[in-house]
Amino acid sequence: MPNELSRRIANCVLLLFRKKRLFASLVCTIFLFQVSSDAQKLPSKKNRLKVATLANQYFMNKWPDPFKPIHVPSRNRTWPSNIWTRAVYYEGLMALYGVDKRKSYYDYAVDWSTQHKWNLRDGTRTRNGDNQACGQTYIDLYLVDKKPERIDSIKASMDKMMRSEKIDDWNWIDAIQMAMPVFTQLGVIYNDTSYFHRMYEMYAFTKYKHGDKGLYNAAEGLWWRDKDFDPPYKEPNGEDCYWSRGNGWVVAALVRVLNILPGNEPH
């Protein structure tokens, strides 16, 4: 099994950095490290939980007021704390709460949500995935305590999109992670497969239509961030440009969605 794991990791790394000679040494380093670690066991659940708890406590200590706006001095800009930048943290917090039911985690998430009135930046009219990402946590909290007001706003926002024929909103790949799981969550809650269908339509448009021929490069197994980076765009070294974080968002979205979707769902 460890040898099989080594092979899979090596194949994944080679896929990600194929043709990228600059990273050849990185590929070798990762592969050799894994081979040398074959005899070692993965960290125990206890140790993994300890690290996650430590990291989360650092965040909660740094941000005791979850409602506090996010200010970035280098950009001289301030954002509300319910957009994607903070929403993705709460996804992780709820996952941590799923394995460690500390009341402080739940209360922190509820406090954040309540202070934002369980709403989205730009309200229910928004179609922007960056604004809808908070809905994933609102829904997770609703599943703990089914108070309708917890999901009224996010449902209204997604339902407005459902009533439209427009399916090209996710024109940058990060949006797949921010919004696609919300459709999936609502489809499960309301036992309504139309949410799954619309989710897939929007995902497929991003993958196969946005830009010239979609934002997914099947030959490389990677995604261009948006239409500004698909062909004919090239980096100065003549190579394609891929944003690693954006590709990570897509993978995270697919894992989350597949974990939520019913097993008999065609998509």
Instruction: Please answer whether residues 106 and 96 qualify as being in contact, where contact means their C-beta atoms are separated by less than 8 angstroms.
Output: no
Asked whether residue 205 falls in the same domain as residue 255, the answer is: yes
Same-domain pairing of 23 and 125: no
Q: Which residues contact 251 (CB under 8 A, 6 or more apart)?
A: none
Q: Which residue among 163, 197, 213 closes a domain? A: 163
Q: Which domain covers residue 259, as residue numbers?
A: 165-267
Q: Is the pLDDT reported for residue 28 higher than 90?
A: no
Same domain, 158 and 178: no
In 3D space, the residue among 132, 133, 118, 108 whose CA is nearest the CA of residue 56 turns out to be: 108
Is 110 in the same domain as 152?
A: yes
pLDDT in tens, 112-171: 999 999 999 999 999 999 999 999 999 999 999 999 999 999 999 999 999 999 999 999
Residues 183 and 105 in one domain: no
Looking at the fold, whether 142 and 220 belong to one and the same domain comes out as: no
Tens digit of each residue's pLDDT (9 = 90 or more) over 194-246: 999 999 999 999 999 999 899 999 999 999 999 999 999 999 999 999 999 99
**35 and 51 inside one domain:** no
Domain count, the chain: 3
- Provide the mean pLDDT of the chain: 89
Same-domain status, 37 and 112: no
* Overall residue count recorded for the chain in this entry: 267
Confidence at residue 42, expressed as pLDDT on a 0 to 100 scale: 84
Q: Which residues pair with 222 in a beta bridge?
A: 217
Which structure tokens are listed for 114?
């309540």
> Count of CB atoms within 10 A of residue 132's CB?
30
What is the predicted pLDDT for the residue at 22?
45
50 with 159, same domain: the answer is: yes
pTM of this prediction? 0.84
Chosen domain end from 137, 163, 189: 163
